[in-house]
Amino acid sequence: MKKTFKWRWGVHRWIVLALIILNVIAVNKYSPVQPHIQVAAENIMAKPLFTLPVIGDFYLTNALLATLFMYIVIILVALAIRNSVKKDPLAPKGIGGIFEMLVDAIYNMTETTAGKFTPKIFPWFMTILIVLLFANLMKLIPGFESIGLLHHAEEGYEIQALGNGTWSTLLNQKTTTGGYQLIPFLRGVSTDLNFTTALALIAVFMIQVIGVQANGPRYFEKFINVRNIFKKPLFGVIDFIVGLLELISEFAKILSFTFRLFGNMFSGMVLLAVIGVLLPVFMPSGLMLFEIFIGVIQALVFGMLTMVFMAQAAQGHEAEEGHE
């Protein structure tokens, strides 16, 4: 006899009701400070670190500091993996075993797409994936974008000293007579347009390198195709125009890579900030889990697109010759 499950309204109802009441009290009595949202990374130091002849002043930004911190964490994790593999090379345990399963699964996935070009493509795919996973998920560590330096602002908030006065906190009392704003020490790496642009440039450049390594100088024929322009003028012109469109699409990949990653991660930061102001107690925890999901998906999408484009660049001419 089939049993039907019935959710009983007992303790669960009172727990949900208590959480709602506590959330309403927290919003009205302990309303958090509205965060300062800025697209560009903030300068931690007022003076530039150095000045370059063409580029100009180079400042230490919170996104750059977070990038350095991310690389340190990646190096420490790599050392931990190496120690785990050294202890038991055949069956590493702990983080070494987890990483071995991850690498094996991603390598098999790359092999199904790239085929014989997998040894050339996989290192780039895996490197981009690891960097983006750390870049997207580390910003969820407590203290990111919430601990930093207070600086004077025309429209800022009042502050309250903590402990012996070395530290201070912002109060939810806005003032127009010399208040303060917070410049965090660390900011999500993927929310900096410079990082996403640099990663996109590296990915697109290496796509061309893989294409040249696999096909030689003939790889550039797909961009400037004049092979049939005199033999078959009509189709030759069409091939030439198609090649120009291919060239434009390669530059479009840079914009696509850059703003897809930046847009998703920056919007997640803004969403967490806004929800944290409106529902500061319970709702952000659920959005944190959603942000973890988005961070993993965006890293996987960026890496897989790079891998697919590399495989297409490597196999392009072979596929055309087989079709002919």
Please give the single-letter amino acid code of residue 192.
Answer: D
CB 191 within 8 A of CB 291: no
What number of CA atoms fall less than 13 Å from residue 56's CA on the CB side? 1
Token couple for 151: 């600086």
Q: How far apart are the C-alpha atoms of 138 and 236, rounded to whole Å?
A: 52
- Which pLDDT score is estimated for 324? 45
pLDDT band at 6 (very low <50, low <70, confident <90, very high): low
- Which pLDDT score is estimated for 135? 92
In this prediction, residues 308-320 reach a mean pLDDT of 74
- From residue 198, how far is each of 40, 192, 262 by CA, in Å? 15, 10, 12
In this prediction, residues 32-47 reach a mean pLDDT of 79
Please give the torsion angle defined by the CA atoms of residues 215, 218, 221 and 223, in that order, rounded to the nearest 10 degrees: 50
pLDDT band at 321 (very low <50, low <70, confident <90, very high): very low
pLDDT band at 323 (very low <50, low <70, confident <90, very high): very low
- Which pLDDT score is estimated for 197? 94
pTM: 0.80
- Phi and psi at 174, nearest 5°, equal -75, 145
What is the radius of gyration, based on Cα positions, of the chain? 26
73-117 pLDDT per residue, tens: 999 999 999 998 888 877 788 888 888 888 999 999 999 988 889
Given a cut of 90, whether residue 226 has pLDDT beyond it is no
